[in-house]
């Protein structure tokens, strides 16, 4: 009798082994009309993988170009070389880290010392960093660089009038400008695909200085130099992606210390005489003193300054009763309403240039400004995990309040992949942002 | 095969169940029925009628015991939205079982019986580090119902019956990862359900030897866990103060089911049957947990389910090849109670199509062996991040699920 069951059992066994559904064939990766064989990335600190106010090995490994290159491999991409610090220099330029919590539960942020510093430059102030000695560099991100800087000769040469140490460690001892360096890389590598996310520092520098001692790059100059860069990158019709400049007023550096909360704490401070009549007073970019309003943005470092050391008057810093009876918060700690308007307008003007060039040259465009505006408003939920633009707890921004965490860079890479896939009909797989950390806790 | 080995076998089988009908319902009672697409409401095949239609039990003249066990091989694949990596379950085999025994004097118009079966359950273990880890890593949901049943033949053609449905054993184990800024913690919820009562009832009508009809109803039971255990692991000391809960409570509705069935017997050898089940899944609105202490700032969590009532359509037939051998085939179409955009990892549900086959062999006049197998395929189902955002169900993961299930079953029956 059991013989008669044998075919039945065999059929069953076959059914079980053939049972695992195959979905991967539905999600095949492809390059579409793009070619990811040789990829180079041009940009600033965001491209270099700068995070926690420093450039260090973990950040470099989680740079969005490195993440993109890893995903490109599924669609024909090749190896990607970065100017990495070696493992003995893994702390790079040094970076910020949470060292503990104060009595009220606020994080105490401390410094991790640099271990890639190799002395001071010829200008007697810029710390030199351990040189990158490879020859195949494909991540050309230089922290701090503006479009305004790209044609400056000696920008990466150790010289007495000052230089960019991140460019210096890449360049060796050449007086070449950044544009010339990119041209050399293009000639050598013959890239088939590029990304270009330059332009942030052309407004960011002004904003992070609270509008003091830095300028916004003029639109005409930006347009000329941005096009020079794209001319080099698109040599021979090379395809690629450009990204817009996020409005910096959406990042935690400017949103973590709200004016209303500071005013409320001043009015509730029993040590200030007649506190209910007191308020927060600021010195604006045009050197006038006035009460702060919700239209002004306080920089993160203002938190450590407001209410301290009554040096000029009997009042602590930031506290006042009127424009004439105040110890105003110095201008570098506040981006006042007029400065915000300047920053926002210039950001929009420069983004118009970037967007127009992307369309004219048929390049993929990651509208980082639109994206981060949405994130600042709603956060972004990735695979069930809530991420927001909040400082420390939001997972997206590192401890400098401007640069992303590895999680933030992973989300940037995914948004770029979406733009690339949409433009070139490719199917580059996205990565799982949940596999990348937010802010590291002690 | 003696009674002692039978009991040992049943002990081994009492280890788990799996989702094999829409949602977390399992329709695997009766190996003969399994081979026929799960029909049974309009038939009086054997003691498994206590599950399908207690009204039909009085028409099952043979007294007897039958024991059935199934092996459920569920194979699930998942690809996250935008990704290309297929995640597969850490495969497990679960074993829904059933035991039916009936008795009544030979000439009496009644039959009394007891049924033990596993109508709801689910066991899934997702791949390490999969994209939906913060929704779910593991689930093991078990229920065992014990049902004393009484059925009475009002006439030769019409019988009625009812059972007291006792949720005798229910257990839930849910595990997921907790997203911390720089790492993942893990939470395990483990609890036993309180004993709860419900009922089922049915009417069976056989106006001619060629036609039979049935209708049955099983009431809803709320499986309720109180004082379940909460256990946290891998939470770094920095965050430990936010994860202090030790106990949880939760309620999971095991919904009411209404069924109608039709049996057609064109000849002595051939039986055809059609069933429709209607399950009141809309009772499952939210999955809510209460905690004795705060978890990340809240003592309460809720997650939308918003299930909708669902139909299952079944068809099956059997043919008596010889006196000893009976062959069966069948199929079912099972509408998912889970709406688009609401699919969760604990029930990665979709409309199901199943094909079944079975065979019985009568070893002696009193002892028989039944074999069945079911091939269940769930339609490929995709939900996008936008779907989740629109439904405010972003606590789960966007992507594409596809599941196939193979369920071989073995039944032993002894009649006297």
Q: Do B371 and A383 touch (CB under 8 A)?
A: no
CB contact under 8 Å between B134 and A383, yes or no, is yes
CATH number assigned to the domain covering A39-254+337-435: 3.40.50.1110
Which residue is associated with the tokens 């059609």?
Answer: B274
Residue A3 pLDDT exceeds 70: no
Chain A residue with CA closest to B355: the answer is: A15
Q: Please tell me the distance from the alpha carbon of residue A122 to that of residue A154, in angstroms, as a whole number.
A: 12
Inter-residue contact A16 to B70 (CB < 8 Å): no
Tokens of A4: 């008669």
Say which residues have a Cβ less than 8 Å from residue A323's Cβ, sequence separation at least 6: A281, A288, A289, A290, A291
- What is chain A's alpha carbon radius of gyration, rounded to the nearest angstrom? 25
B131/A440 CB distance under 8 A? no
Mean pLDDT along residues B275-292: 95
Q: What is the pLDDT of residues B326-356, one digit of tens each?
A: 999 999 999 999 999 999 998 899 999 999 9
Q: In terms of DSSP bridges, do strands B93-94 and B247-254 run parallel, antiparallel, or are they unpaired?
A: unpaired
Do B375 and A15 lie within an 8 Å CB cutoff? yes
Query: Does the pLDDT at position A367 exceed 50?
Result: yes
Query: What six digits make up the tokens of A80?
Result: 């990607």
Q: Which two tokens stand for residue B333?
A: 């179409």
Q: What are the Cα distances from residue A355, in Å, to A192, A242, A362, A414? A: 21, 8, 10, 20
A 10 A CB-CB count for A413 gives 27
Could you tell me how many residues make up chain B?
A: 416
Interatomic CA distance for residues B67 and B174, integer angstroms: 30
- Determine the average pLDDT of the residues in B59-69: 92
A22–B86: do the CB atoms touch at under 8 Å?
A: yes
B contact residues 374-413, partner A, Cβ 8 Å cutoff:
375, 380, 385, 388-389, 394-398, 400, 402-406, 408
Q: pLDDT value at position A347?
A: 97
Q: Which is nearest to B148 in space by CA: B106, B113, B96?
A: B113
Question: What is the torsion angle, in degrees rounded to the nearest 10, for the CA atoms of residue A171, residue A176, residue A180 and residue A182?
Answer: 10
CB contact under 8 A, B131 and A434: yes
CATH code, domain with B241: 2.40.160.60
The total number of structural domains in chain B stands at 1
Mean predicted confidence (pLDDT) in B20-48:
84
pLDDT category at B9 given cuts 50, 70, 90 is very low
Please list every residue in chain B whose beta carbon sits closer than 8 Å to the beta carbon of residue A29.
84
Q: How far apart are CA B39 and CA A216, in angstroms?
A: 76
pLDDT single digits (tens) A273-310: 888 999 999 999 899 999 999 999 999 999 889 988 76
Q: CB neighbours of A111 closer than 8 A, spacing ≥ 6?
A: A94, A95, A96, A97
- Residues A46-83: b if buried by 16+ CB within 10 A, e if exposed: bbbbbbbbbbbbbbbebbbbbbbbebbbbbbbeebbbb
State residue B309's pLDDT score. Answer: 96
Distance between CA B31 and CA B361 in Å, rounded?
12
DSSP conformation class of B321: -
Q: Do B83 and A431 touch (CB under 8 A)?
A: yes
B-chain CB neighbours of A431 within 8 Å are 83
Give the ipTM. 0.88
Classified as helix, coil or strand, B106 is: coil
**pLDDT recorded at residue B3:** 33
* Strand boundaries in A252-347, DSSP class E: 279-283, 289-291, 297-298, 319-320, 334-335
Task: Let me know the angle formed at the C-alpha of B344 by B342 and B349, rounded to the nearest 5 degrees.
Answer: 85
Residues 6 or more apart whose CB falls under 8 angstroms from that of A430 comprise: A71, A413, A414, A417, A418, B80, B81, B82, B83
The average pLDDT across A30-48 equals 98
CB contact under 8 A, A384 and B404: no
Check residue A270 and give its pLDDT.
87
What's the residue count for chain A?
A: 442
Helix residue spans in B17-87 (DSSP H): 31-34, 49-52
CA distances from B82 to A63, A366, B126 (A): 20, 17, 19
pLDDT reading at B239 higher than 70: yes
Got the DSSP string for A289-313?
EEE--TTSEE-TTHHHHTT----SS
Interface check for A29 against chain B (CB to CB < 8 A): the answer is: yes
pLDDT for residue B29 is more than 90: no
Selected residue of B128, B179, B348, B374 to mutate for chain A interface (largest A Cβ count, 10 A): B179
The structure tokens listed for A275 are: 């506190």
Range of the domain at B326: 3-415
Nearest to B138 by CA among B206, B186, B83: B186
Give the residue extent of every domain in chain A.
39-254+337-435, 259-293+297-335
Residues 128-147 of B with CB under 8 A from A: 129, 131-135
A19, A21, A429 ranked by CB distance to B82: nearest: A429
Mutate to test the interface with A, among B86, B303, B364 (most CBs of A within 10 A): B86
Of the candidates A98, A80, A84, the one whose C-alpha atom is nearest the C-alpha of residue A39 is A80
From A157's Cα to the closest Cα of chain B, the distance in A is 38
- Please enumerate in sequence order all residues whose Cβ is within 8 A of that of A327, keeping only pairs 6 or more positions apart, or say none: A281, A310, A311, A312, A313, A315, A316, A317, A318, A319, A320
DSSP element (H, E) containing A409:
helix A406-424
Whether residue B371 and residue A442 make contact (CB cut-off 8 A), yes or no, is no
Residue B276 contacts A where some CB pair is shorter than 8 Å: no
Q: In terms of C-beta distances under 8 Å and separation of at least 24 residues, what long-range contacts does A316-320 make, across chains too?
A: A316/A272, A318/A262, A318/A266, A318/A280, A318/A281, A318/A282, A319/A266, A319/A272, A319/A278, A319/A279, A319/A280, A319/A281, A320/A278, A320/A279, A320/A280, A320/A281, A320/A289, A320/A291
Confidence of residue A96 (pLDDT cuts 50, 70, 90): very high
Note the pLDDT tens digit of each residue in A392-403: 999 999 999 999
User: What value does the mean pLDDT take over residues B80-93?
Assistant: 90
Instruction: Provide the token pair at B12.
Output: 């081994």
Beta bridge partner(s), residue B58:
none
């Amino acid at each position: 009798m059991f013989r008669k069951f044998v075919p039945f059992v065999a059929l069953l066994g076959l059914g079980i082994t053939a049972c695992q559904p195959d979905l991967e064939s539905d999600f095949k990766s492809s390059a579409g009309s793009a070619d990811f064989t040789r990829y180079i990335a041009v940009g600033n600190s965001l491209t270099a993988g700068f995070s926690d106010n420093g450039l260090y090995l973990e950040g470099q490994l989680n740079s969005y170009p490195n993440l993109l290159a890893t995903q490109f491999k599924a669609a024909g991409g090749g190896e990607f070389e970065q100017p990495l610090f070696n493992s003995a220099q893994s702390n790079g330029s040094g970076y910020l880290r949470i060292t503990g919590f104060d009595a009220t539960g606020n994080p105490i942020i401390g410094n991790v010392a640099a271990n890639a510093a190799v002395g001071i430059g010829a200008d007697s102030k810029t710390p030199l960093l351990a040189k990158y000695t490879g020859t195949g560099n494909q991540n050309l991100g230089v922290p701090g660089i503006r479009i305004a800087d790209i044609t400056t000769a000696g920008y990466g040469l150790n010289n007495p009038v000052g230089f960019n140490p991140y460019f210096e460690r890449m360049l060796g001892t050449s007086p070449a400008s950044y544009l010339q360096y990119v041209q050399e890389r293009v000639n050598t590598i013959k890239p088939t695909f590029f990304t270009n996310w330059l332009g942030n520092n052309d407004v960011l520098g002004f904003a992070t200085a609270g509008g003091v001692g830095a300028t916004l790059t003029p639109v005409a100059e930006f347009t000329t130099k941005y096009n020079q860069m794209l001319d080099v990158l698109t040599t021979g019709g090379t395809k690629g992606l450009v990204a817009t400049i996020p409005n910096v007023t959406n990042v935690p550096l400017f949103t973590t210390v709200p004016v209303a909360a500071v005013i409320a704490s001043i009015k509730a401070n029993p040590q200030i005489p007649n506190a209910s009549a007191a308020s927060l007073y600021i010195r604006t970019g045009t050197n006038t003193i006035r009460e702060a309003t919700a239209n002004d943005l306080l920089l993160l470092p203002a938190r450590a300054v407001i209410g301290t050391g009554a040096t000029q008057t009997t009042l602590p810093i930031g506290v006042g009763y009127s424009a004439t009876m105040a110890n105003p918060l110095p201008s570098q700690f506040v981006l006042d309403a007029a400065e915000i308007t300047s920053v926002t307008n210039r950001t929009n003007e420069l983004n118009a240039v970037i967007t127009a060039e992307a369309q004219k040259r048929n390049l993929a465009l990651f509208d980082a400004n639109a994206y981060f505006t949405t994130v600042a408003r709603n956060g972004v939920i990735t695979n069930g995990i809530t991420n927001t633009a909040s400082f420390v707890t939001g997972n997206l921004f590192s401890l400098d309040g401007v640069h992303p965490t590895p999680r933030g860079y992973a989300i940037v890479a995914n948004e770029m992949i979406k733009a690339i896939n949409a433009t070139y009909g490719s199917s580059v797989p996205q990565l799982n942002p949940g596999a990348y950390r937010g802010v590291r806790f002690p | 095969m003696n009674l002692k080995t039978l009991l040992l076998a049943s002990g081994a089988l009492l280890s788990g169940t799996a989702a094999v009908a829409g949602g977390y319902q399992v329709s695997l009672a009766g190996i003969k029925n399994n081979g026929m697409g799960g029909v049974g409401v309009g038939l009086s095949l054997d003691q498994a009628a206590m599950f399908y239609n207690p009204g039909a039990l009085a028409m099952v003249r043979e007294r007897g015991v039958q024991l059935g066990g199934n092996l459920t091989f569920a194979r699930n694949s998942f690809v996250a939205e935008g990704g290309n990596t297929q995640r597969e379950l850490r495969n497990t085999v679960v074993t829904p079982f059933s035991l039916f025994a009936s008795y009544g004097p030979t000439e009496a118009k009644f039959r009394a019986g007891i049924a033990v079966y596993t109508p709801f359950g689910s066991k899934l273990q997702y791949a390490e580090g999969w994209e939906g880890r913060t929704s779910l890593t593991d689930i093991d949901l078990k229920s065992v119902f014990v049902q004393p049943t009484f059925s009475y033949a009002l006439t030769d053609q019409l019988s009625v019956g009812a059972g007291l449905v006792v949720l005798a054993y229910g257990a839930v184990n849910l595990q997921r990862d907790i997203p911390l800024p720089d790492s993942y913690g893990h939470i395990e919820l483990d609890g036993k359900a309180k004993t709860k009562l419900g009922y089922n009832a049915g009417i069976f009508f056989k106006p001619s030897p060629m036609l039979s009809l049935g209708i049955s109803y099983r009431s809803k039971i709320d499986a309720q866990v109180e004082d379940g255990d909460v256990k946290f692991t891998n939470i770094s000391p920095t965050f430990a103060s936010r994860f202090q809960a030790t106990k949880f409570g939760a309620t999971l509705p095991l919904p009411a089911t209404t069924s109608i069935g039709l049996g057609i017997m064109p000849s002595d050898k051939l039986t055809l049957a059609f069933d429709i089940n209607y399950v009141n899944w809309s009772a499952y609105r939210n999955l809510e947990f209460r905690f004795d202490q705060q978890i990340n700032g809240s003592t309460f969590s809720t997650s939308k389910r918003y299930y909708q009532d669902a139909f299952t359509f079944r068809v099956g037939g059997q043919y008596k090849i010889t006196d000893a051998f009976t062959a069966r085939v069948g199929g079912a179409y099972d509408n998912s109670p889970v709406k688009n955009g609401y699919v969760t990892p604990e029930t990665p549900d979709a409309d199901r199509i199943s094909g079944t086959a079975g065979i019985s062999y009568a070893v002696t006049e009193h002892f028989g062996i039944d074999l069945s197998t079911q091939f269940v395929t769930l339609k490929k189902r995709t939900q996008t991040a936008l779907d989740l955002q629109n439904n405010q169900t972003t606590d789960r993961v966007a992507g594409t699920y596809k599941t196939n299930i193979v369920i071989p079953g073995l039944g032993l029956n002894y009649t006297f």
